[in-house]
Amino acid sequence: MEDKREIRKELIQKRDSVDGRDWEINSKAIQKTVIQSSFYKKADCIMTYADFHGEVGTLMIVEDALLSGKRVFLPKVLDNFTERKMEFYEIFSTVDLISGYKGIMEPTGNRQRTFNYSDWEGKNILMTVPGVAFDKRNFRMGYGMGYYDKYLSDKPSIIKCGLCFSMQILDEIPVSNQDVKMDFLVSENTGADKLEALSKEFLR
């Protein structure tokens, strides 16, 4: 099996080579599948990300969630690389986002509230998670900084949805004890029926 660095390099190159039109079509298809799912419809809180460098787009999800009156939180990197600290802040509009870490759009952190896990006990929390690669066991490989793995390590009730293009799903990727597994993946090929069957296992 290839090591993580080799897989990262290969998958980032593949993702970056995707035609812009194909990226747009597939990103919209993935987001539409999420928005139409029971996972999303019954979620009290949506935690998502601002896409960067060929990641699956999320603007449709953000805008729909805000229009639907859902609470919406996006991540912000707070400290230096060694601490690998990330927090989620509530946004009320896309105007609340500015260019931050590595040029990724993130909450300003000025007037927004941070996500407090204990406040959401007994609620349905859906997080859509980006990644470089995923596998058929629902494991995820990020960029190697461990932000999401660390953040999710003590928040087991968050429903974790990996957003990815089908080319990013491998048979198996190398994992460590720190790697947090996704609950399910959504690609442009994911059927709505599959998500509805899964939702019965997770939703309150």
In angstroms, the CA 61 to CA 67 distance is 10
Domain ranges in the chain are: 4-202
Under the banding of pLDDT at 50, 70 and 90, the label for residue 76 is very high
Query: Hey, what amino acid is at 80?
Result: N
Q: SS3 string of 134-196?
A: EECCCCEECCCCCHHHHHHCCCCCCEEEEECCHHHEECCCCCCCCCCCCCEEECCCCCHHHHH
Class of domain 4-202: alpha beta
What would the mean pLDDT of 82-87 be, rounded to a whole number?
78
Q: Read off the pTM.
A: 0.92
Q: Is the pLDDT of residue 74 over 70?
A: yes
Kindly report which listed range (16-20, 93-97, 125-129) carries the lowest average pLDDT score.
16-20
Share of the chain above pLDDT 70, in %: 95
Residues 157, 51, 130, CA angle at the centre, nearest 5°? Answer: 40
Under the banding of pLDDT at 50, 70 and 90, the label for residue 80 is low
HSE toward the beta carbon, residue 152, CA cutoff 13 A: 24
Kindly report which listed range (68-72, 120-124, 129-133) carries the lowest average pLDDT score.
120-124
Q: Is the pLDDT of residue 2 over 60?
A: yes
